[in-house]
Amino acid sequence: MKLVTNPDKSTWSELLKRPTQTIEDIEATVKTVFNDIKINGDNAVEKYTSKFDGVTLLNNSVTEEEIAEAASKVDENLKTAIQLAKANIETFHSAQKTDRVEVETMSGVACWQEKRPIKKVGLYIPGGTAPLFSTVLMLAVPAQIAGCKEIVLCSPPNKEGKIANEILYAAQLCGVTKIIKVGGIQAIAALTFGTETIPQVYKIFGPGNQFVTVAKQLATQFGVAIDMPAGPSELLVMADDSANAAYVASDLLSQAEHGADSQVILVTTSKDFADNVSEEVETQLETLPRKDMAEISISNSKTIVVNDFDTALELIDTYGPEHFIVATENDDFFVENIGNAGSVFIGNYTPESAGDYASGTNHTLPTNGFSKAYSGVNLDSFQKSMTFQKISKEGIQNIGNAIELMAEAEGLQAHKNAVTLRLNDLINE
């Protein structure tokens, strides 16, 4: 890890810079696939699945038999673990339900706000070497609590034309209504336009590689919402001498193993502590199966030593980490004052992996500094708030004149007329 001590504020922006990604060459490919699927539907989907996933499917919908078979093959202990995680995620996201907000702003002017589910949502779960079934829980559980009617899950098939057992088990456990073997750009395009077998949805959730990320961005131009823009995963740990160097090292490594582009930062007020963590990282790294990847990520990562907590807080807020672990003698200071972070992990016994899997919070979080403006996925991500107003005869008499004056001042005579007509009738009543 690169060690930086007391960096001058003028260097922060450079120091905290994330690697930029070039997407322009990807964009052309994504546009081509979108256009093809828009016109040719399932035929085009089949073609790209064959090309990119190396498998030709007669039927891309997962059948009930396949799900039952997959479920029977998942280890029973793992099933119990998945059920525990699901229960915690359910508890936390159910607690996020809000009542209808109702106010009479003036006598006779009733206004209310209600949340209603997004009817059709698409969940994208990447394939690859490891099956990310935890993301199924993180997306399908709140979708079901919100009351989404259609929950469509897309995940790429492997060479045998299958989706991992754990993903199918988790999907069925969490009320996914349709599972489709399709991945990459073609999955996002199919969810955007709909095909003969794949339903069009209103919002697409889930992680993915650069192709999926660019495809999700393009989907927004066709009227489909997305959870958030994605970037490589990040962890920032704030720790002092009161923390445990071995634990901190294990947390940094658990972030680093995600990929060579993972962002890992340690901020500390203690140079000694930084040295201890560095040694621990070297030791723990040796035994990791994903050592090669983690090593690259760690070599790009930074340890920043600062003089005091105030400076640390300002630095962390400037960065806006996706995951923020704080283990210091005064965690409350950071918890109360942090303005920009996706999810915060407090104290020595709260590793990031707890939130990744089972504490109950969501692991789909804003990366790339987006925590400055974006929420992580939560119950509200699967609903939209709608407003209602009902004005009585008395009500329109109370606010009518104000509307008339404002509409006229904005040069919108018909807006004024709509009120004047009603007020005149009431005067004559």
Residue numbers 185-224 binding a copy of itself by CB under 8 A: 202-203, 217, 220-221, 223-224
Burial of 248 (0-12, 13-18, 19+ CB in 10 A): buried
Please choose, out of 51-59, 152-160, 247-255, 264-272, the segment that lies near a copy of itself by the rule CB under 8 A: 247-255
83 is in an annotated binding site: no
Q: Report the distance separating Cα 114 and Cα 290, nearest Å.
A: 47
Q: In the window 16-35, what residues touch a copy of itself (CB under 8 A)?
A: none
Please choose, out of 54-62, 77-85, 153-161, 306-314, the segment that lies near a copy of itself by the rule CB under 8 A: 77-85
* Residue 163, amino acid: I
Nearest distance from residue 298's CB to a copy of itself, in Å?
11
The CB-based long-range contact list for 293-297 (8 Å cut-off, 24+ gap) reads 293/256, 293/257, 293/258, 293/259, 293/260, 294/253, 294/256, 294/257, 295/256, 296/260, 297/255, 297/256, 297/257, 297/258, 297/259, 297/260, 297/261, 297/262, 297/263, 297/264
- Residues 6+ positions from 277 with CB-CB distance below 8 Å: 1, 239, 245, 248, 249, 252, 266, 268, 303
Nearest distance from residue 48's CB to a copy of itself, in Å?
25
The alpha carbon dihedral of 216, 222, 227, 229 has a sign of: positive
410 is in an annotated binding site: yes
Q: Report the distance separating Cα 180 and Cα 157, nearest Å.
A: 9
Q: Which of 33, 44, 118, 168 binds a copy of itself (CB under 8 A)?
A: 118
Contact 248, 266 (CB under 8 A): yes
**Smaller CB distance to a copy of itself: residue 294 or 315?**
294
Under rule CB under 8 A, residue 124 binds a copy of itself: no
Site map (CB under 8 A) of a copy of itself, residues 88-107, x = contact: x--xx--xx-x--xxx-xx-
**Smaller CB distance to a copy of itself: residue 46 or 232?**
232
**Smaller CB distance to a copy of itself: residue 59 or 283?**
283
Please choose, out of 35-43, 153-161, 184-192, 397-405, the segment that lies near a copy of itself by the rule CB under 8 A: 397-405
Under rule CB under 8 A, residue 246 binds a copy of itself: yes
Under rule CB under 8 A, residue 344 binds a copy of itself: yes
Cα distances (Å, whole numbers) of residue 217 to 22, 154, 230, 321, 386: 14, 17, 9, 22, 25
314 is catalytic: no
76 is catalytic: no
Q: Which of 4, 71, 111, 296 binds a copy of itself (CB under 8 A)?
A: 111
Q: Which of 323, 329, 404, 408 is catalytic?
A: 323
186 is in an annotated binding site: yes
- Residues 6+ positions from 97 with CB-CB distance below 8 Å: 145, 379
Please work out the total of residues on this chain that contact a copy of itself, with binding judged by CB under 8 A.
127
Reduce the DSSP state of residue 208 to 3 states and report it: coil
Burial of 140 (0-12, 13-18, 19+ CB in 10 A): buried
Place of tokens 């002017």: 109
**Smaller CB distance to a copy of itself: residue 46 or 322?**
322
Under rule CB under 8 A, residue 339 binds a copy of itself: yes
Site map (CB under 8 A) of a copy of itself, residues 293-312, x = contact: -x------------------
Nearest distance from residue 86's CB to a copy of itself, in Å?
10
Nearest distance from residue 205's CB to a copy of itself, in Å?
11
Could you tell me the maximum CA-CA distance found in the chain, to the nearest angstrom? Answer: 88
Q: Report the distance separating Cα 14 and Cα 309, nearest Å.
A: 21
Q: In the window 350-369, what residues touch a copy of itself (CB under 8 A)?
A: 350-362, 366, 368-369
* Residue 296, amino acid: I
Other C-beta atoms closer than 10 Å to the C-beta of 139 total 30
Nearest distance from residue 172's CB to a copy of itself, in Å?
17
Under rule CB under 8 A, residue 166 binds a copy of itself: yes
Nearest distance from residue 90's CB to a copy of itself, in Å?
9
Cα distances (Å, whole numbers) of residue 385 to 113, 145, 225: 6, 15, 15
Residues annotated as catalytic (active site), given as ranges? 322-323
Task: Write out the binding residues for Zn(2+).
Answer: 255, 258, 356, 415
Task: Write out the binding residues for substrate.
Answer: 233, 255, 258, 323, 356, 410, 415
